[in-house]
């Protein structure tokens, strides 16, 4: 750790720091310079940056460092005359004022906070109320035209509270949606967004361990803490006033009171399901403790030549968890793999683009976003306040956690089958003698869990790669064991640290691959699209005026 600190100090002082000069020659046929890349990770993962937490002194050092490096590469400020985009956020600690009581004229059920239900509000208001709100069971709470599915059909939920199931109908019936591969309609975040679009006052998701892929304890602990949200221009008033979960046991008690059968839970997964008014009502008061803060995305632009009003975006989140609970005497969450690696890659890929003899025809934006760890907030802000038009943005290519496990025969395209970018990645992998494949557990919804997803949500085809596991020298079992070891022992802990013994050869191949994809796109005039059946296709078609 001391070594890292000294490297950073030198870098900031601008002394004899190789990462800051272009004089060093690449040693491999790759356009990516491994030595410079290694030094950039060492700086970004150093203790001096204090774990790169939004709003901390570590943020200021990190974003200034990125700005300086982009300037040295000769890149232009990506947001007017600034390298920064301010991201207003709000931290809200929501506490329900009492039990969640649901009643009809025959009786009532009362649920205890944390044991039986959780609830919060994104409204930037000290107090939020649900008043005598009628409950409606709206199945999976999904509106998916491409699957001919609408759980809100014929329903006016304004002022009402919808009760919905987690995951999507494909979880129980392989002929529906994408079967076990979870679509975005299955994510809990979607349930809240759709209910808000429908104008619901409240949303309660019924927890079920299998389709949720985690137990009630995870919901309970996650929802007992304050949450960081974007502070939108309308103070988040367009969101449902109350968002929450109820346990399966609570849902069954609720159904009993409403005199409806538990078979509704399975009926909801059948085609043609119709929402069911439960003829019960609830009132709830939520008190909010509110803290506002502003963080920053960092943006640098390499203007194109003849198609400069078309954009390719590379993203990597710069943030991590800062300082926290000490583990084995270390309280700095350096986030070396997560995501100093991707941020350093962003710098080095930018550098590779500046060295191209044939200049890119399209413009390339290098975007290092904030608050990924808090719920993909920086990328959410960028895509809801885009600096460059969404329908002129050709693709997003995202890097989040590049692993130093050496060369792999394979590379994973998370969400393989979503967009035409797959073929670009296949071609680039082929040139390296490698093959691509989808992630091993597509029911986990991994395509929805890093920054590229916010680009997908507004229709921009997005590529998210993850390192493969078939190690060239040690085989697949070894590769899988490395991933497991990271997840079990270093992920989101102070032990995610850089070491000069890291084998960067595999990361460099992965960087070269995403560089090739962007390079090809940068010389083309085509706009790759979403594949048939993708939940993002109709959004893109609409924004492209199709």
Which residues contact Zn ion (rule: CB under 5 A)? Answer: 338, 373
Q: How far is the CB of 2 from Zn ion (least distance, A)?
A: 25
Q: With respect to Zn ion, which residue has the nearer C-beta, 373 or 422?
A: 373
Closest separation in Å from C-beta 29 to Zn ion:
32
Produce one character per residue of 239-271: b if its CB has 16 or more CB atoms within 10 Å, e if not.
bbbbbbbbbeebbebbbebbebeeebbebbbee
Q: Where would I find the H helices in 225-362?
A: 248-258, 264-267, 342-354
Between 149 and 448, name the residue whose CB sits nearer to Zn ion.
448
Please, which residue, 454 or 522, has the CB nearer to Zn ion? 454
CB of 379 to Zn ion, least distance (A): 13
Q: How far is the CB of 450 from Zn ion (least distance, A)?
A: 9
Considering the complex, state which of residue 205 and residue 316 has its C-beta at the smaller distance from Zn ion: 316
Coil, strand or helix: which one is 76? strand
DSSP string over 491-536: TTSTT----TT-B-HHHHHHHHHHHHHHHHHHH------BPTT-TT
Residue nearest to Zn ion (CB): 338
Residues in contact with 531: Cβ distance below 8 Å, sequence separation at least 6, in sequence order: 417, 418, 419, 420, 422, 537
CB of 401 to Zn ion, least distance (A): 7
Q: Is the dihedral of CA 469, 475, 478, 482 positive or negative?
A: negative
Q: How far is the CB of 431 from Zn ion (least distance, A)?
A: 30
Residues 6+ apart with CB under 8 A from 258: 104, 135, 278, 279, 280
Supply the minimum distance, in Å, between the C-beta of residue 316 and Zn ion. Answer: 12
d(CA 330, CA 343): 23
With CA atoms as reference, report the closest residue to 402 among 510, 512, 517, 516: 510
Q: Report which of 206, 159, 208, 213 is spatially closest to residue 182, judged by C-alpha positions.
A: 213
């Amino acid at each position: 750790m001391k070594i890292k600190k000294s490297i950073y100090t030198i870098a900031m002082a601008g002394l004899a720091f190789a990462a800051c000069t272009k004089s060093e020659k690449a040693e491999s046929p790759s356009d990516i310079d491994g030595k410079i890349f290694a030094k950039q990770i060492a700086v970004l993962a150093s203790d001096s940056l204090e774990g790169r937490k939004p709003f901390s002194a570590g943020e200021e050092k990190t974003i200034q460092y990125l700005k300086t490096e982009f300037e040295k590469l000769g890149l232009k400020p990506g947001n007017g005359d600034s390298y920064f985009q301010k991201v207003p956020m709000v931290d809200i600690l929501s506490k329900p004022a009492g039990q969640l009581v649901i009643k009809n004229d025959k009786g009532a059920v009362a649920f205890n906070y944390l044991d039986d239900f959780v609830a919060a509000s994104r409204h930037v208001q000290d107090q939020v109320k649900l008043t005598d709100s009628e409950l409606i069971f709206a199945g999976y709470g999904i509106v998916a035209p491409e699957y001919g599915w609408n759980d809100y059909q014929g329903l006016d939920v304004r002022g009402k509270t919808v009760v919905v199931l987690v995951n999507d109908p494909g979880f129980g019936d392989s002929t529906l949606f994408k079967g076990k591969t979870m679509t975005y309609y299955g994510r809990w975040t979607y349930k809240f967004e759709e209910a808000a679009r429908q104008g619901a006052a409240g949303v309660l998701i019924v927890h079920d361990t299998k389709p949720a892929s985690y137990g009630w304890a995870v919901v309970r602990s996650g929802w007992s803490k304050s949450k960081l949200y974007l502070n939108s221009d309308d103070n988040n008033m367009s969101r449902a006033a109350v968002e929450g979960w109820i346990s399966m046991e609570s849902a069954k008690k609720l159904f009993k009171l409403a005199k409806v059968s538990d078979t509704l839970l399975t009926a909801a997964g059948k085609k043609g399901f119709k929402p069911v008014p439960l003829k019960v009502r609830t009132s709830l008061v939520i008190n909010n403790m509110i803290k506002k803060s502003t963080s920053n995305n960092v943006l640098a632009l390499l203007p194109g030549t003849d198609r400069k009003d078309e954009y390719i975006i590379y993203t990597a989140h710069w943030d991590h968890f800062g300082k926290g609970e000490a583990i084995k005497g270390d309280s700095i969450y350096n986030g070396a793999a997560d995501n100093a690696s991707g941020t350093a890659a962003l710098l080095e890929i930018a550098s590779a683009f500046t060295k191209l003899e044939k200049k890119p025809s399209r413009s390339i934006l290098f975007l290092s976003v904030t608050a990924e760890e808090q719920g993909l907030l920086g990328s959410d802000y960028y895509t809801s306040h885009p600096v460059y038009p969404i329908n002129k943005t050709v693709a997003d290519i995202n890097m989040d956690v590049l692993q130093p496990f050496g060369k792999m025969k394979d590379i994973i395209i998370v969400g393989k089958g979503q967009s035409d970018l797959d073929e670009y990645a296949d071609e680039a992998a082929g040139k390296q003698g490698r093959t691509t494949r989808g992630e091993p557990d597509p029911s986990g919804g991994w395509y929805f869990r890093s920054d590229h997803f916010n680009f997908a949500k507004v229709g921009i085809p997005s590529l998210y790669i993850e390192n493969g596991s078939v190690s060239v020298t040690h085989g697949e079992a070894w590769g899988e064991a490395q991933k497991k070891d990271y997840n079990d022992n270093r992920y989101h802990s102070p032990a995610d640290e850089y070491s000069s013994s890291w084998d960067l050869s595999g990361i460099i191949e992965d960087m070269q691959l995403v560089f090739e994809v962007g390079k090809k796109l940068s010389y083309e005039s085509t706009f790759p699209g979403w594949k048939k059946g993708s939940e993002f296709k109709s959004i893109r078609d609409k924004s492209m005026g199709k």
